[in-house]
C-alpha cells in the first residue's frame, strides 16, 4: 500500500493547527515535513501527523515548546513519567485556583481583605501578617505595642489564631451596633456605651490610653485600606461617625463613662 501524504491544507483541515504554526514547527525543527517538493510544497506522512497530534496534546497541557521538543525525543514510558509529574503539578495548581476563586467570590461579596486567605501556599505573607508587620514597624518602639507583643507571644500559635478570630468577631459585632446608631450623636450615652465595648475588645491585648485610642481613630479615617472594611457596617459617613465617637470618649475621659 502506498504511503499517503498530506498537504499543509490537509493537516490544517485534520487538526485545526494554523499554517503559521506548521511553518514555525518546521523552522525550529520541532516537526519537519516528511518531504518537500522542488516547488516548496510540504507534505506530511501519517507518522508526522501522529507526532503533530502529540505535540498539540502536550501544548494543550501547558508544556512550553522547548520542553515539548525534548519530550519528542523520549520513549513513551519516559514521556508518561514526565506527564505523571506534570499531572501532580496541575492538580496543585487547580487546588490553588479553586482557593483563589473562592476567596475572590468572598471578596466580591464584601469580605474584608484581612479575612481572605489568598497567600496560603505563597511566600507572600497573609494580609493579617502584613498588618502585624506594619504595626511593628510603626509602633514597635512604643510601650503599648511592646505590651501587646508580650501578651501575644505568651500564647501558642493555635491560641493566637483563636484569639485573633474571636477578637475580629467581637469587633465586627461592636461596629454593627454602632452603625445602627449612626444617626445619633457620637457623644450620646448609647454610642459611648459601644465605644467602651470597642475599647474593651482592644484591651484583650493591651491597656488603651487616650493617646493610643486617638492614634487608632486617626488611622481609621486616614488609611484608605480601612474604607473597604468599614463599608460593610455603614454608609460612607460611618468612619467619620466612628472617629467622632472615639474622640468624644477621649475628650470626656473615663468619668463620663463610669456614669453610664
- Asked whether the predicted pLDDT for residue 122 surpasses 80, the reply is no
Boundaries of domain holding 92: 77-113
> Which grid cell is 94?
487547580
Q: Does the predicted TM-score (pTM) go above 0.95? A: no
pLDDT at 204: 75
Q: Give the N- to C-terminal CA distance of the chain in Å, as an integer.
A: 102
Domain holding 31: CATH number? Answer: 1.10.1660.10
- Whether residue 197 sits in one domain with residue 247: yes
- Whether residue 91 sits in one domain with residue 22: no
Mean pLDDT, residues 18-37: 95
Phi/psi-derived region of residue 164, left when phi > 0, alpha when psi is between -120 and 50, beta in every other case? alpha
In angstroms, the CA 48 to CA 158 distance is: 59
pLDDT at 60: 92
- Asked whether the predicted pLDDT for residue 137 surpasses 80, the reply is no
User: How confident is the prediction for the chain on average, in pLDDT?
Assistant: 81
pLDDT in tens, 48-100: 999 999 999 999 999 999 999 999 999 999 999 999 999 998 898 888 778 77
In angstroms, the CA 209 to CA 236 distance is: 28
- Whether residue 91 sits in one domain with residue 45: no
Amino acid at each position: 500500500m502506498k504511503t499517503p501524504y498530506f498537504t499543509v491544507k490537509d493537516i490544517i483541515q485534520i487538526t485545526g493547527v494554523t499554517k503559521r504554526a506548521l511553518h514555525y514547527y518546521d523552522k525550529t525543527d520541532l516537526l519537519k515535513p516528511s518531504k518537500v517538493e522542488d516547488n516548496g510544497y510540504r507534505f506530511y506522512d501519517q507518522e508526522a501527523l501522529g507526532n503533530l497530534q502529540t505535540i498539540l496534546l502536550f501544548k494543550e497541557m501547558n508544556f512550553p515548546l522547548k520542553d515539548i521538543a525534548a519530550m519528542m525525543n523520549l520513549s513513551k514510558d519516559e514521556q508518561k513519567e514526565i506527564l505523571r509529574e506534570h499531572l501532580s503539578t496541575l492538580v496543585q495548581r487547580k487546588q490553588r485556583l479553586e482557593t483563589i476563586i473562592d476567596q475572590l467570590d468572598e471578596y466580591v461579596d464584601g469580605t474584608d481583605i484581612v479575612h481572605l486567605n489568598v497567600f496560603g501556599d505563597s511566600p507572600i505573607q497573609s494580609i493579617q501578617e502584613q498588618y502585624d508587620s506594619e504595626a511593628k514597624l510603626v509602633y514597635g518602639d512604643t510601650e503599648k505595642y511592646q505590651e501587646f507583643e508580650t501578651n501575644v507571644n505568651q500564647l501558642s500559635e493555635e491560641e493566637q489564631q483563636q484569639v485573633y478570630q474571636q477578637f475580629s468577631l467581637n469587633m465586627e459585632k461592636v461596629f454593627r451596633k454602632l452603625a445602627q446608631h449612626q444617626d445619633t450623636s457620637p457623644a450620646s450615652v448609647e454610642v459611648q456605651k459601644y465605644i467602651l465595648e470597642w475599647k474593651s475588645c482592644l484591651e484583650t491585648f493591651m491597656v488603651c490610653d487616650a493617646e493610643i485610642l486617638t492614634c487608632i481613630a486617626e488611622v481609621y479615617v486616614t488609611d484608605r485600606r480601612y474604607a473597604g472594611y468599614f463599608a460593610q457596617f455603614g454608609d460612607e459617613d460611618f468612619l467619620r461617625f466612628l472617629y467622632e465617637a472615639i474622640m468624644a470618649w477621649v475628650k470626656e475621659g473615663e468619668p463620663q463613662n463610669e456614669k453610664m
